[in-house]
Structure 1
Amino acid sequence: MIIVKLKKDKEKKIKNGYLWIFKDEIFEITGEKKDGEICNVFSSNFEFIGKGIFSKSSNITVKILSLNDEDINEDFFYKKFFKALKIRTNFGNSYRFFHAEADGIPGLIIDKYEKFLVVQFRNKGVENKKSEILSALIRVFKEDIKGIYERSDFETSSQENLDRNTGLLYGENPPDRFIIEEEGIKYIVDIKNGQKTGFFFDQRKNRVYIRQFSKDAIGLDAYSYTGGFALNMAKYGAKKVVAVDKDEYALELLKENAKLNGVEIETVYDDVEHYLDNTEYQFNLMMLDPPSLIKKKTERLKGVQIFKKISELGIKKLDNYGILSLCSCAYQADISLLIEALRRSVENEGIMLQSLDIITQSNDHPWILQIPESLYLKCFWVRVIK
């Protein structure tokens, strides 16, 4: 057993709900230092603080699982899963079922697609507990699921020597493609080969929000993936919708999604910046939802420059009074960074950016006030007045 003793007063934040312990907050570590092992954490006065996942390879040395002295076993996971299911009653049959720290287990992501679960094990601790996690999931869902599939082939900078497994873990193999429905729109999903686990459930609120601006619009869905925003624009009355992405396979699924929903969408395989530089279209509704661009606090200045350039190009192609949404899916690219990027994108242009709304991730991706890092998705909606 690994024992972690904290420096003086470093237990206070844990008791208040912030569950990460950094290297420089630790006084002493005893026991064999192995990535993914369960450790006991004590204060400087030897008060028991909690149990967590130990990582010698990360600046975040411990991620707390429980403030109680309890076994981290199948029953522990069952209780976490039961609680997660209880607060997800209004999302239909497809949604994020478990969202890592925000649901109490760092590094564990589980998405539900109709009768199938797709799981990611994102640290060595949850990877080590895979069998207990699977048993607990089967207990919670019983006959409500047909199969559990693993998609742990994500990109990471972790040095924990994680397995990059994909494949069936339990029950039936999911079909290569199947259809889910979200807020009245159908999507073809490929959970085996698509990005992340196949679909971006976190943008649900923004996909609904864009509908109010869609009637008679000429809309652009930039970084479109399989067309979540494009489909909503087209379904809710847009005159023309263009979707741009560099993922050819995603664009093929987008075309199938358009047929499935009885709408027309022009798809363009291109780099978004190159497209905006060269298109002759003028839009009055635009979604800019780039992939995660910055990972570290030290990259914030670079992030402002990147978002500024994207916004500048987009605003040039927007009509007067057009609606623009700029999204960030990185914690470090926060609201203040988006505001700065947008403000600087229209410097000396005599353009006013009127704030309409700031919308965060869907409620099946909860964020915890005591864990700022759990708020990662922000979309800033503005009206561009030229």
Structure 2
Amino acid sequence: MICIPENDYPMSTAPVSPADFAPLRLRKDEDRRLRAGHLWVYSNEIDVTATPLRDFQPGQPVEIQASNGKALGTGYINPNVLLCARLVSRDPAHPLNFSLLVHRLNVALSLRQRLYPKPFYRLVYGEGDGLPGLVVDRYGDLCVAQITTAGMDRVKDDILAALQKVLKPAAVLWRNDGAMRELEGLERYVAEASGTVPETVAIEEDGLRFQIAPRTGQKTGWFYDQHDNRARLDRYVRDRRVLDVFSYSGAWGIRAAAHGASEVLCVDSSAAALAQAATNAALNGVADQVQTRQGDAFEVLKALREAREHFDVVIVDPPAFVKRRKDFKEGALAYRRINEMAMQVLERDGLLVSCSCSQLLPRETLVETLLQGSRHLDRTLTVLEQGRQGPDHPVHPAIPETDYLKVVFARVLPV
């Protein structure tokens, strides 16, 4: 545990006394999940007779109470959404303010510094680091932060000050452009919080170099969550022909080329992403091995199949096909289709690396989807390895939603 002396902090604009928190009373027995370790409160769990939702403002700090009035901790509320409150601290003496932010940033940093030799990682992963509604990615001297909730947005200035105290970054960028902000009633924007943010930034991953675009790239510009899974790929690709579908800026494919793949084809719908992939290939001396092809993944796979193209390794790392529960059936079918099409361009003894970042798609469903696809093609599938997000995306054990990334390394053979 890292102890932070209270007198080291400047005055915070956030509340510091329990008296500053409006009570939020739960209905009878609705405190069980929080007592078991969860951090979320839904609107139907609140005693609206004792504490009417109409009395609260978005982002307002609250003391969350059991039905008998006993305090469970402090957090914040947005009465306008179903997931309306989040518990941040179980100690009333340490509410969400500059002091707590510094402490939890230091705790998060201590883990990353033990695990990563250079400053390229996700520094803050929401609930997994005790800061629900906040994500911070570190790209050397640049921090890119995303705020997704009204309660965390309320202490935005404190977040910036805490980052400056703990890391002293040359620049901080707000990537507050996610769709979730609209649900919270917040504006979407990208803006410099401090310093000057360049259009591209150089990062390193296990000795490889990549340029990313923090202002315009997907998410914050890079997908740190796949780092460990990309490392798993190294031993499978020497002298192999590799297809990287949904390649974005080439993280999978360029790593494969750098570890001995004879040929790599990166496929993405974004011309800008593929241009970045070509630049990254050149940065790592593998431009001759890496080709790109722009187009819809389904259409490109169909064209490759019709051209009788085959690859030893196919990587399928799509965006989330299941974003809402009502999308589950259609999204699961999309996973089935894309992976079956990937198998159709695999060599007789091929490796399929299938990924899903859809939290709502269970791991066993992804594996079952791969099995169904292989049987439909009259092929045999065996699972060699499975992966998840790296330790810079720590899973909160009471919140399964924080465990979202599934990766399956599967061998696909003739019957």
Structure 1: distance between partners of 2:43 and 2:367: 33
In structure 2, the residue matched to 1:115 is: 141
Judge conservation of contact 2:343–2:412 (CA < 8 Å) in 1.
yes
In structure 2, the residue matched to 1:192 is: 215
- RMSD (Å) for aligned C-alpha atoms: 1.4
**1:205 partner letter:** D
In structure 2, the residue matched to 1:26 is: 46
In the TM superposition, residue 161 of structure 1 has moved relative to its aligned partner by 1.8
Structure 2: distance between partners of 1:347 and 1:230: 28
In the TM superposition, what are the counterparts of 1:123-272 in structure 2 within 5 Å? 123-142=149-168, 145-156=169-180, 158-170=182-194, 172-263=195-286, 264-272=289-297
Deviations 1:125-158 (A, max 9, x none): 111111111111111113xx21111111123374
In the TM superposition, what are the counterparts of 1:1-386 in structure 2 within 5 Å? 1-28=21-48, 29-30=51-52, 32-69=55-92, 70-89=94-113, 90-91=115-116, 92-142=118-168, 145-156=169-180, 158-170=182-194, 172-263=195-286, 264-279=289-304, 280=307, 281-386=309-414
**1:68 partner letter:** D
In the TM superposition, residue 71 of structure 1 has moved relative to its aligned partner by 3.1
Deviations 1:247-300 (A, max 9, x none): 111111100000010003110001111011011320110110000111222322
**1:46 partner letter:** G
TM-score by structure 2 length? 0.89
How many equivalent pairs are there? Answer: 383
Structure 2: distance between partners of 1:157 and 1:174: 23
Where 1:237 maps in the other structure, the secondary structure is: coil
In structure 1, the residue matched to 2:8 is: none
Where 2:72 maps in the other structure, the secondary structure is: strand
In the TM superposition, residue 349 of structure 1 has moved relative to its aligned partner by 3.3
Structure 2 stretches of 5 or more lacking a match? 1-20
Judge conservation of contact 1:300–1:337 (CA < 8 Å) in 2.
no
Cα distance change, pair 231–348 in 1 and its aligned pair in 2 (3 A): closer
In the TM superposition, residue 368 of structure 1 has moved relative to its aligned partner by 1.8
Where 1:10 maps in the other structure, the secondary structure is: coil
Cα distance change, pair 75–232 in 1 and its aligned pair in 2 (3 A): same
Structure 2: distance between partners of 1:58 and 1:353: 43
Judge conservation of contact 1:57–1:158 (CA < 8 Å) in 2.
no
Where 1:233 maps in the other structure, the secondary structure is: helix
Cα distance change, pair 17–203 in 1 and its aligned pair in 2 (3 A): same
In structure 1, the residue matched to 2:17 is: none
Structure 2: distance between partners of 1:46 and 1:355: 51
Judge conservation of contact 1:115–1:147 (CA < 8 Å) in 2.
yes
Judge conservation of contact 2:240–2:313 (CA < 8 Å) in 1.
yes
Where 2:112 maps in the other structure, the secondary structure is: coil
Where 2:183 maps in the other structure, the secondary structure is: coil
Deviations 1:307-346 (A, max 9, x none): 0000110101101221101111121012022022212213
In the TM superposition, residue 178 of structure 1 has moved relative to its aligned partner by 2.4
Where 1:186 maps in the other structure, the secondary structure is: strand
Judge conservation of contact 1:2–1:30 (CA < 8 Å) in 2.
no
**1:271 partner letter:** D
Structure 2: distance between partners of 1:157 and 1:66: 23
Where 2:351 maps in the other structure, the secondary structure is: strand
Structure 2: distance between partners of 1:121 and 1:382: 36
Structure 2: distance between partners of 1:276 and 1:33: 51
In the TM superposition, residue 30 of structure 1 has moved relative to its aligned partner by 4.0
Where 1:88 maps in the other structure, the secondary structure is: helix
Structure 1 stretches of 5 or more lacking a match? none
Where 1:45 maps in the other structure, the secondary structure is: coil
In the TM superposition, residue 177 of structure 1 has moved relative to its aligned partner by 1.3
**2:323 partner letter:** K
TM-score by structure 1 length? 0.96
Structure 1: distance between partners of 2:208 and 2:34: 42
Structure 1: distance between partners of 2:392 and 2:104: 15
